[in-house]
Amino acid sequence: MQPIPSALDDSFGRPLRDLRISVTDRCNFRCGYCMPAEIYGDRYEFLPKPEILSFEEIERLARLFVELGARKLRITGGEPLVRAELPALVEMLREISGVDDLALTTNAYLLEGQAEALRRAGLARLTVSLDSLDPETFKRANGVGLDLERVLAGIEAAERAGFGPIKFNCVVQRGLNDAEIPALAQRFRGTGHIMRFIEYMDVGTLNGWDLAEVVTAEEILHSLSRDVELVPVDANYPGEVARRYAYADGSGEIGIIASVTQPFCGACTRSRLSADGHLYTCLFGKSGHDLKTRLRTGASDAELLRVIAGVWSKRRDRYSEQRAEEARRTGQVLPRSKVEMYQIGGDAAPSRHWNRRPGLSRAGRILEQETGFEPATSTLATWSSTTELLLPEDIDYSASTTVKSRAPASGGTSPEAGRARAETEGGARAPESRPVRDRGRFRRPGIRRSSGTPTRR
């Protein structure tokens, strides 16, 4: 039997240093880049509660990752604050020997009521996703019309609780929020907090990513430098993803993450644990490695350590570098199957465009990409961007493949329904419906055309 290593490198010599822990696949937002409302509507079936790792299971796996070299733990989602009693998990993770940093990424909508408890439990740092300070742009971006004021109140509560510096992540997309770059930087200048700008990435398969919509790091820096003087600053630690720039007058710093034009795969030390207990070794991974089944069928710590070590030691992910090479060579990036962002946490930006080809709806385009089915003459080809669709998991393809759409009264999820969900959705509420496998991506169910109507299973 092979010994268990105390420090672990992958195939390219990259050490395991970070573990991102998704505690839920649910979210109170319906952002177009991650969980568009027309797909993830009110009837969508997320993971049932028994399929989600318990806090005790998360703590056990996190401890094993730390034994293999992880030193930074970050809690993500979905939106982690919809998971009930999250401070209890924070306290458990804080007690793991060897953890140097414990952080959480949130949209901050529910932060006002939880900031103090999270701080008392031992959470060290917060990162807030904030793509706009314009109230109307913010409402459009979150997909359910939620107000910016609630997020700003959450940020203020975090400051009162003693969090700082807080990092703010803005994913910049051409024509959506690129004009706000200077205003976002100015909003947090002199506060001790750090505003970071991220190039729009092709995370998942549902955001209609277009290379032309990427605002490059060079453009971001140029926009910031028009009114202020910025000077480069050394990285805080090896492998830091953000390029740091300080204001020349000493009033703070900003960061730029060039994830598309200057990929940093060579320094990536991140592992990711999904809410249902799968290990992913890349944000752009196609599939994960099931740890939950082993966990729940009596695997010892030694057995789990060997599985985790085996996965990481064989890791060869370098998707962003390959994407950049493809873009330089061909001028485009072809779509590939990837895990959806809400399942393992990450950053991306809202997409303003649903249709990429005249006459083919976004839903039809996704189905074509994922299954090879060409829906040009089917009902899929005429769906609009405001249509909530029946997911393939809900359709009996043995009866039909002509898909009916459910059109919401006002297009997508209403602001009223969105606000209600934002207040109530969380890990404590188990879905009443059956489990659904492979959610978030279209499967290959042997699609064939038929004139019938799809039936619910």
Which residues, other chains included, contact 225 with Cβ-Cβ below 8 Å and sequence gap of 6+?
A: none
Opening angle at CA 218, ends 216 and 222, nearest 5: 120
434: tokens are 């059956």
CB-based contact 168:188 (threshold 8 Å): yes
DSSP conformation letters of 267-302: G--EEEE-TTSEEESSTT-S--EE-HHHHHTT--HH
Residue type, 435: P
CB-based contact 196:254 (threshold 8 Å): yes
Q: What is the pLDDT of residues 104-129, one digit of tens each?
A: 999 999 999 999 999 999 999 999 99
72: tokens are 């930074």
Specify the pLDDT at position 259: 78
- Using CA atoms, how far residue 57 sits from 52, 60, 63, 97, 246, in Å, is 10, 5, 10, 17, 41
pTM, two decimals, is 0.71
Mean pLDDT split into 10-residue runs, the chain, 457 residues: 67 91 94 76 88 98 97 96 98 98 98 98 97 93 92 98 97 90 97 94 61 88 95 88 94 91 71 94 74 97 96 76 62 54 46 31 40 33 27 29 31 49 44 33 30 33
Q: What is the pLDDT of residues 358-368, one digit of tens each?
A: 333 333 344 34
DSSP code, position 43: T
Specify the pLDDT at position 365: 43
Q: How far apart are CA 174 and CA 200, in angstroms?
A: 9
Specify the pLDDT at position 270: 87
Domains of the chain, earliest start first:
18-313 (3.20.20.70)
Q: What is the mean pLDDT of the chain?
A: 75
Specify the pLDDT at position 238: 78
DSSP conformation letters of 177-194: TGGGHHHHHHHHTTSS-E
Specify the pLDDT at position 249: 97
Specify the pLDDT at position 319: 57
